[in-house]
Each structure stands twice: as structure tokens, then as C-alpha cells.
Structure 1
């Protein structure tokens, strides 16, 4: 396998798992909206949907994941803008992780074009 494909696939999977973990920990323990956790932790569950396709290297999954992850980027931007304290820093991490996932899936989709044919 092309080293660029392997790097981008591993980065996308690792970034998606890290983003899932961050969203879950953020809303349950680190800085929940309500003491004891909130239902907002459910926002992490859709992040598990593309994982099987990412692990298997399905190009189509990488293509739609590039648009899918932008929802978490947008949430991170809005919460970094509107909140203070720990939530603002966690939002910055969410932004960074979503950019990593986006970059990795775009690179994979781009460099796997010839492989798919």
C-alpha cells in the first residue's frame, strides 16, 4: 500500500476515535452542560458510523466523511466563540481534531483515486 494512503487512513481512524472520545468525555465528565453529564453526549455516537468503512479503506466512506465531520468543526467553532473556561479549550481541541480528520480523509480520497480504478 502507498505510504500516503496508509498514513491518511491511520490518521483518519485515529482522529475519528479521538474525536469520539473527546465528545463523550466532554459532555459526561470534563465540562458537561449540567452537573453529572448531559444528553449532549449522544452527539458522539454518529462518529462511530463511518469507522467500519474507514478501517476497510472504502473510498466512498472517505468522501462522505469529509462533509460529515464538518458538523463537529462547526460545533467546535460555535462553542469556542460562545463559551468560557474548560469548554472553550475543549472546543479548540474539537476543532483541531475535526481538521485532522477532514485533512486525512481528503488526502485518502485524493490519492486512492487511481487505486479504485
Structure 2
């Protein structure tokens, strides 16, 4: 077993926490919605499925988390702009979606722009 599966790194932990918090945010946001079941399927289930993939170490889970975060970001911006009476909920969605994007992208950015060893020169 690789060390990545046995001990998650910081970016993976931030990604997992962000996905869990997005699920909780949307659960609380839509708790009084007359279409609560549909809201669960559309807003709460996807981050929970992605969280399960991240925790299992599936390689595609961070990619799909970043793609889904584009939806969550757009949703948050749309509601922050058109419904300021919602307060911090849309802004929390924006912040959490940005945390997902950056934590999902960090390992790839480290691999691409990280320091090269002296033996590689």
C-alpha cells in the first residue's frame, strides 16, 4: 500500500473537509425547501459521493470535485448577487468551492511547478 493511501496529505484533507462542509451547507440551506428531496439529490448527494471517492483515494475524485466546484461557485455568485437577504450562505458556498478548487489542484501544481532535484539537472 502506498503512503498516500495510508496517510492523507494536507491538500487531500482540506478537500475532504471542504466537500463535507459544502454538503452540510446545502443541507441546512434547503432544509425548509418544499422540494427537499430534490434538493438533497441535486445539492447534497454530489459532494458526499465525491467525498467518498476522495476518502477512498480514487484518482478521479479530485478532478470531478474541481469540476463540480465550478457549479457550486457559480451558484453561490448567482445567489449572492440576486438574493442578498440570504446573508452568508452564498458567500460560504463561494469560499468552500474555492477551497475545493485549490485543494484539488494543489498536488498537480506541486508536481508541475515544484522544485526539481539536483540529479535532474
TM-score between both structures, scaled by the size of structure 2:
0.74
1:68-96 Cα shifts (integer Å, max 9, x gaps)? 211111000000000022x1421011000
SS of the residue 1:37 aligns to: coil
Structure 2 gap segments, 5+ residues each: 113-121
Moved more, 36-45 or 101-110: 36-45
Q: How many residues align?
A: 103
Contact 2:47 2:65 in 1 (8 A): no
What is the alpha-carbon distance in structure 2 between the residues aligned to residue 17 and residue 112 of structure 1? 26
Structure of greater relative contact order (alpha carbons < 8 Å, 6+ residues apart): 1
Deviation of 1:59 after TM superposition, in Å, equals 2.5
Q: Which has the larger radius of gyration?
A: 2
Deviation of 1:61 after TM superposition, in Å, equals 1.6
What is the alpha-carbon distance in structure 2 between the residues aligned to residue 10 and residue 67 of structure 1? 18
Structure 1 gap segments, 5+ residues each: 29-35
Contact 2:26 2:44 in 1 (8 A): yes
Deviation of 1:60 after TM superposition, in Å, equals 1.9
What is the alpha-carbon distance in structure 2 between the residues aligned to residue 72 and residue 39 of structure 1? 19
Cα 1:38/1:104, change in 2 over 3 Å: farther
What is the alpha-carbon distance in structure 2 between the residues aligned to residue 54 and residue 12 of structure 1? 8
What is the alpha-carbon distance in structure 1 between the residues aligned to residue 34 and residue 57 of structure 2? 34
TM-score between both structures, scaled by the size of structure 1:
0.76
